[in-house]
Structure 1
Amino acid sequence: MAAHHHHHEHHGADLTRAAQTTLEKSGEQWTVMRERVFEALAGFDKPASAYDIAEAVSKLEGRRVAANSVYRILDLFVGANLARRVESANAYVANAHPDCLHDCIFLVCDACGQTTHIDDDAITKTVRAAARGAGFSPERPVIEVRGKCADCD
């Protein structure tokens, strides 16, 4: 039996407030630029690259925002659990439940790029235990399952 964790997923302004609260609890400031980057990230329906986000924020700001600045903010967001990095795509998704920490399991559609994040603590606990058994200290397990989503299958 899978150990799925049920939690409240935030959306829209509620998601932005949850992200702000989580970031501030970690001791970081919620700046205007961080809010713009988070809202741009949350506005994508698929994983977004730092360049995609920089372009969206640049349009909103009416000035060029460098991807390097966005990368720094995204790194902060990943560390604070506000965003997740889809490793194989070098792209990011907003974490719909930033107040709850889990290892990532991503289902990535090779046809359309849609990425679904699921939590299954039993699977990730087993992965961590296997890593420790091999003499490895797991820091940030990310599991990606590539295939086709129901819409593309």
Structure 2
Amino acid sequence: MTVAKLLISVCAFCVMSEQVVAGEASICTPKDSVQVESSVSKVRDWRGVYASFRANRACNAETVVEVWAAYSQIVARLFANHWDKSNDFFRLASEHADFKNFVVKHLADETIPEDVLQVIRVHARSSCSYGFETMCKEIDGATR
């Protein structure tokens, strides 16, 4: 084996090891997808969304359609029907930008009905908690 091939192998191993240590396994099997979709559909609050987001990183990509749609539905439902609990989201999002970006990106999902998006926009514009105005603007913008 040449030195160049050895270095490439070592670098690839380091990157893969770093992903596993960070909890970012890169493979979501069909079985995983079904289990994650089922668990996401049972989430009832922002702490649950966050815990699921952290635990299921391999299946959180847009390419895992069923899981993506399940997350989009819970995100939309929490913002539309439980805005009074949105401070839980804002606190988590303030500490974890990757989680905030994940949630906001779900608001652009085409599967969320327009009337639900309208309710979320109204909440974001008229009922935003002090200190979280920037995030409310992001939420409002993502629903357009």
TM-score, scaled relative to structure 2: 0.27
More helix by share: 2
Point out which structure has higher relative CO (alpha carbons under 8 A, 6+ apart): 1
The structure with the larger Rg is 2
More strand by share: 1
